[in-house]
Amino acid sequence: MTNNDTGYIKRTLPKNVGKLGIILFLVGAITGSVGFFLDPARASYSYLNSYLFILSIAVGSLLLVAIEYAANATWSTPFRRMSEFLASSLPLLILLVIPLLLNIQNLFLWSHSEEVAKDHMLQAKSVYLNTPFFSVRVFVILLIWSLFYYLIVKNSRQQDETGDLLMTKKNNKLSIIFIPVFAITVTLQSIDWIMSLESRWFSTMFGVYLFAGITCSALAALTFISVMLKEKGYFHPKITKDHFYSLGTLMFVFICFWGYIAFSQYMLIWYGNLPEETFWFMQRWKGGWKIVSLFIIFGHFLVPFSVLLSHPSKTNFKKLKFISIWILAMHFIDLYWLIMPGMNGNGLNFSFSWMDISFLVATIGIIIYMFNRMFEKYNLIPVKDPKLQRGLDFHL
């Protein structure tokens, strides 16, 4: 089925990939539902963690697509479809967020009117942090993201059929609008879902921090999948080590960026030493959290930094696979570290729970299933994209 002149042959993944996705999802969803039944408060936190993980990959991938269009990048054009596939769970988030909204009371102190009445700080914030406004914000932002996903991806797919240049121009415009919209919305989401868990804490850098993590994880997911597909021979033969070198470099850059943001945020709060800010980090330095904090410094920055620093390692498939899974895991742990300690302020005592894993399993199932579905339906590379040839011919 060669439907183009680039030499790309469409194939489908083995059947059991889709099955694996469904099985993972079912296992996770069933055990997770049991969790919600047994301990709804604890389950909400686990669910939030996994929800933000899938959100990171989905919206981060859409951002990568948008950046490619906005910057007129050509080397990444052969990879663009994979980011589009990874972003395909974005509209699903509208459904997935419902259990969280039903459990707002379990997550956020500011949603309890009797607590707000006692605390003047919560009263001061109640204009922004209240259940109706919060829910509207969440839905509107998810709708905006889904709309952009729908429009950009529709144009991109339509181009596969028609080869219409207008589609690229349309997507350029959409992407340029999406990027500032993304900056604002992702900041609001970071404040809503994470910062307001400990409603007294505040940091102007926080949106940027989450953005850095999101981009790292989206790039890592893209790298992992493209290396796998390349190794198994699904990918275009003209994709060379130079392409993977560029992907690795991009991951390296965002790891450094994450490290920079994380360090600056910590350093400034530590140096300023104001109790209204430091308590957040103190919370994460108590008991076992100390180990997690240290592990994040090493795992989210130093390990990927040293692995990706040299030129050969960015083209070594084994290392790329390892480090991209590592970065994804670290992003999950980072979210865990951001979310879970907030529990103590809400009258719960944190302890590790099997639910943390079950929701993660369900999330991975969804990503695999959606990817496989998209893979069956659409071409793996944008076959008639005007930039494709330049992208395939890319050499350092």
Partner 1 sequence: MSLDYSEDMVQFTREPQLVELDDLIAKPVETNPSKKYFLALTFTASLLLIGIICTGITFYFGIGTWGNNQTIGWAFGITNFVFWVGIAHAGTLISAILFLLRQKWRNAISRFAEAMTIFAVMCAGLFPILHMGRPWLGGYLMPYPNSMNLWPNFISPLVWDVFAVSTYFIVSLLFWYLGLIPDFATLRDRSKDKIKKIVYSFFSLGWRHSNRHWRHYEKAYMIFAGLATPLVLSVHTVVSFDFAATIVPGWHSTIFPPYFVAGAVFSGFAMVVIALLVVRKVFDMENIITLNHLEKMNKIILLTGSMVGYAYLMEAFISWYSGVHTEQYSAINRAFGDYAWAYWTMVSCNAFIPQFFWFRKIRRSIPAMFIIVILVLVGMWFERFVIIVSSLSRDFLPSSWTYFTPSLIDLGILIGSFGLFFTLVLVFTRTLPVIAMSEIKGIVKGAQPTHNGGAN
Residues within the interface to partner 1 (CB under 8 A): 72, 74, 121, 124-125, 128, 163, 165, 168-169, 180, 183-184, 187, 191, 200, 202-208, 256, 260-261, 264-265, 267-269, 271-274, 276, 386-387, 389-390, 396
DSSP string, 265-293: HHHHHHHH--HHHHHHHHHTTSTTHHHHH
Q: C-alpha 199: how far from its chain's center?
A: 23
Distance CA 316, CA 313 (A): 5
Which residue, 12 or 123, is less far from partner 1 as judged by CB? 123
- Enter the tokens of residue 250: 């991009």
Which residue, 44 or 196, is less far from partner 1 as judged by CB? 196
- Enter the tokens of residue 235: 């990918």
Report angle CA 207, 212, 213 to the nearest 5 degrees. Answer: 100
Q: Looking at 167-290, which runs of residues are DSSP E strands?
A: none
CB of 52 to partner 1, least distance (A): 20
| Residue 113 near residue 260, CB atoms below 8 Å | no
- Enter the tokens of residue 184: 């604002």
Q: Looking at 77-225, which runs of residues are DSSP E strands?
A: none
- Enter the tokens of residue 214: 């999101």
Q: How many other CB atoms are found less than 10 A from the CB of residue 72?
A: 9
Which residue, 231 or 276, is less far from partner 1 as judged by CB? 276
Which residue, 318 or 390, is less far from partner 1 as judged by CB? 390
CB of 109 to partner 1, least distance (A): 14
Which residue, 163 or 288, is less far from partner 1 as judged by CB? 163
Of 125, 279, 109, 103, the residue nearest 197 (C-alpha): 109
Q: Give the SS3 label for residue 232.
A: coil
CB of 326 to partner 1, least distance (A): 22
Which residue, 14 or 237, is less far from partner 1 as judged by CB? 237
CB of 340 to partner 1, least distance (A): 21
CB of 58 to partner 1, least distance (A): 22
Which residue shows structure tokens 């979310």?
339
Of 325, 245, 356, 340, the residue nearest 288 (C-alpha): 340
CB of 277 to partner 1, least distance (A): 8
CB of 242 to partner 1, least distance (A): 11
CB of 123 to partner 1, least distance (A): 9
Which residue, 146 or 196, is less far from partner 1 as judged by CB? 196
Of 351, 343, 201, the residue nearest 277 (C-alpha): 201
Which residue, 252 or 332, is less far from partner 1 as judged by CB? 252
DSSP tag of 197: G
